[in-house]
Structure 1
């Protein structure tokens, strides 16, 4: 395999991301995941990365921990000193976690990604890192504003708040007239006015984070921070420090105090995504913070008061997790002051076309192909498919179609095979049920049969490698395991 071109230019208006890894395959995989959203530079050693950093401004660095000559943490320590504005992310296996924890603060590492990484999670982490860098640059500009006078600062804050409220207004959530989302947004708008904790349920990729942001910017806390954390993305040992902070010397490598997300969100909103993936031990600590309105950073003996609103989300049915003994009942009632459910795309087929048109405009602009449009055959395929990965899968499919299209018209031939085959599922009543599917039964029974077929086909194709199956289908390993257990597919036979 040929090494990727380290200096392949991206669009001038895209943030630049530097990928550092001595394995060419890993560099290529990360580039394929990120190059639609960012300009990409690659380096196969720390020395090559230094040369690139000296020549070009870089927004984010993703560095592998295990490299010959110098570890990722050691290299990122140097980056922090020489290029402090660059956001630093390290990628590593579980066996390196102690080394990462020991150096995470000294190197100023923004995030720690475990292998094998999931493409959607990697992409979202880099997007969030870029936002964090922009936020830091904004804070620097605010310091200049303070020197030039408070009235100007207040005016600019109000302007930015107005822009954020407009960008994340409930009416900006794309949907068709009469959509099931109308009721969800109307209820969320009422809840936003009151300082109640909200729990958002629904499958992965349905837009729970977007709804959480809309709740924040429609609330009295809109001028406060909105911070988020994916609880499934990092282990408990790091999650506690990330949310609650730690004191210098709390553990090996804690060379300075670290302010947690709860403190940074004081006066605003904390969005805890995939809260159902946390361990019982961590749930106890989170419950104590929510009950008492104060936290203790790791290694500290003094409580720190915090005033935050918590919006949590999970693709699991947490009430069922409580009954099964996997989620604490007292924490559930603490975070579920009010509950909302985000329906999947198959539950609101009328929204597929307006969402697809919206995404096509965005993706075509990002890829430099404005003017793209859907053909009738392509639209029929989009509406006929069940979209198990919901909006995230829809966006990926549209990006793929735009990349493959020869002209401005997107036809069915630009779509993946699974999507083209999914078109016949909507006409099963006229031509008979597809082979292997029940011709009768309740809707849930038929959906379960379709889901079982998709899972079985993916398992057999990947030789029962559940990590690869979960990555392909946009599921966590825990979520995949739960589906296999529910559908009776745990045994290879």
Structure 2
């Protein structure tokens, strides 16, 4: 961990306590307790990463104390230190108290430091991987292998080159800037509409940076009220507020050495902005209900769909926080400004969806792609993903066709050109005819030119539909199949 981890040492022998403190204090913040009662008071007010406890104490054995700790404060990694090698104590410690290590007295300083380092690393990895409370079967080496494998996969998944875009897309310039930002330890603010891929860019920046070997954590700042958001980001002690049923290590501490992505930062309250600014200025956090502050080394990548400069001018967002976050601003263009990307993104999404759903879809028809390119996609890439999923579920063909598209996309892909009415009956007639022709063309597309089906959908007789087809010159290539 970049900041000093907190180790609680519990021993009723003052000389032993002083010796342990002297050896460990160079690398860790050490809190000493003379007995289990005093140690419980520490755990009630501080976030502790590891506990080193003597086995034979006057009022309560180390195993009994750590068994209670396991039930009440399950996060700290628990270790027993003892001058006795009673096998029953060891077995009880493993089975009942979830002991990570049983250290024999007399101990060697280097070995003791190595063991405590391993315990602290296990605590950090446990939080990063969101595993349950410490199990003796989990070693730092095993968890580290899992984390390393996950990071290797993430680097490949979130590489800049995996952000799909055409050679002439405006997204290319954004990616080039993102690569430059990744090389330097600078705060980044990503702006853009919802669904444009802001988190994808943030992940690429992290995994392209020197921090890629550490954690990347995400928090949606608009999803929680202030108190819960503070506990998520900064941590809290059990009982710090209503609903705080257990100690929580904050995401800033989980991301220590890595990157934290604060999505929807523009939704935060002025009161929370003050607290976040202090964290950025001081590089330290204070968990809710705790007495001590903790140093953290975290890179901030923030994102918003708001115009933060306008929010600053309106007094809804702190100017000093804005400049802290926006040291390197990036803007993700909406999909409507890069229609050249639509076919490539659609093909990538289709490949992922067909693999996930097990459906043998070969591709998207040129007609459907043309409609998709002309549509504005107000929901951006997320809306495109949802549309492809829907089409794959509904289609009975080997290709996704125009008829499989949602009505809003079919209509949006070929807008109806209405003339200005100017309050004249002639213009009204022209507009009605344009609307009628458009509805017939849409129905013909959906039913492959089958007159019977089109007439049934529009509530016309086949003779009536034929008359309209003749009027609008739409007869070519039609079928009378029922």
* Same topology, TM > 0.5: yes
| Cα drift, residue 155 of structure 1 | 6.9
Q: Which residue of 2 aligns with 1:282?
A: 272
Correspondence for 2:394 among 399, 404, 408: 404
| Cα drift, residue 399 of structure 1 | 0.9
Q: Which residue of 2 aligns with 1:168?
A: 158
2:361 touches 2:400 (CA, 8 Å); kept in 1? no
Q: Write the mapping of 1:119-268 to structure 2, written as runs, cut at 5 A.
A: 135-136=129-130, 144=138, 146=140, 159-268=149-258
User: Equivalents in 2 of 1:133, 1:334: separation in Å?
Assistant: 27
Distance of aligned partners of 1:143 and 1:268 in 2 relative to their CA distance in 1, 3 Å threshold: farther
Query: What secondary structure, in the 3-state scheme, does the structure 1 residue paired with 2:320 have?
Result: helix
User: Equivalents in 1 of 2:291, 2:223: separation in Å?
Assistant: 28
Q: Write the mapping of 1:263-342 to structure 2, written as runs, cut at 5 A.
A: 263-342=253-332
Query: What secondary structure, in the 3-state scheme, does the structure 1 residue paired with 2:323 have?
Result: helix
User: Equivalents in 1 of 2:355, 2:265: separation in Å?
Assistant: 34
Superposition TM-score, scaled by structure 2 size: 0.58
Correspondence for 1:369 among 338, 343, 359: 359
1:360 touches 1:372 (CA, 8 Å); kept in 2? no
| Cα drift, residue 311 of structure 1 | 0.3
Query: What secondary structure, in the 3-state scheme, does the structure 2 residue paired with 1:422 have?
Result: helix
Q: Which has the larger radius of gyration?
A: 2
User: Equivalents in 1 of 2:155, 2:238: separation in Å?
Assistant: 38
| Cα drift, residue 380 of structure 1 | 1.0
| Cα drift, residue 423 of structure 1 | 1.5
Distance of aligned partners of 1:250 and 1:134 in 2 relative to their CA distance in 1, 3 Å threshold: closer
Q: Write the mapping of 1:445-484 to structure 2, written as runs, cut at 5 A.
A: none
Q: Which residue of 1 aligns with 2:109?
A: none
1:364 touches 1:372 (CA, 8 Å); kept in 2? no
2:128 touches 2:254 (CA, 8 Å); kept in 1? no
Distance of aligned partners of 1:370 and 1:380 in 2 relative to their CA distance in 1, 3 Å threshold: same
Is 1:394 matched with 2:394?
Answer: no
Q: Which residue of 2 aligns with 1:460?
A: none
1:232 touches 1:277 (CA, 8 Å); kept in 2? yes
Distance of aligned partners of 1:169 and 1:380 in 2 relative to their CA distance in 1, 3 Å threshold: same
| Cα drift, residue 301 of structure 1 | 2.5
Please list every run of 5 or more consecutive structure 1 residues that lacks an aligned counterpart in the other structure.
1-80, 85-131, 437-493
Structure 1 runs of 4+ off > 6 angstroms?
A: 138-143, 152-156
| Cα drift, residue 164 of structure 1 | 2.2
Query: What secondary structure, in the 3-state scheme, does the structure 1 residue paired with 2:330 have?
Result: strand
Query: What secondary structure, in the 3-state scheme, does the structure 2 residue paired with 1:311 have?
Result: strand
1:345 touches 1:387 (CA, 8 Å); kept in 2? yes
| Cα drift, residue 139 of structure 1 | 10
Q: Deviations over 1:332-377 (max 9, x none)?
A: 0011110000000011111010000000111122222133411121
Q: Deviations over 1:43-78 (max 9, x none)?
A: xxxxxxxxxxxxxxxxxxxxxxxxxxxxxxxxxxxx
The root-mean-square deviation of aligned C-alpha atoms, in Å, is: 2.7
| Cα drift, residue 291 of structure 1 | 0.8
Query: What secondary structure, in the 3-state scheme, does the structure 1 residue paired with 2:236 have?
Result: coil
Superposition TM-score, scaled by structure 1 size: 0.56
User: Equivalents in 2 of 1:247, 1:363: separation in Å?
Assistant: 43
Query: What secondary structure, in the 3-state scheme, does the structure 1 residue paired with 2:414 have?
Result: helix
User: Equivalents in 1 of 2:420, 2:391: separation in Å?
Assistant: 28
User: Equivalents in 2 of 1:332, 1:214: separation in Å?
Assistant: 22
Please list every run of 5 or more consecutive structure 2 residues that lacks an aligned counterpart in the other structure.
1-70, 75-125, 422-482
| Count of residue pairs brought into register by the alignment | 298
Q: Which residue of 2 aligns with 1:107?
A: none
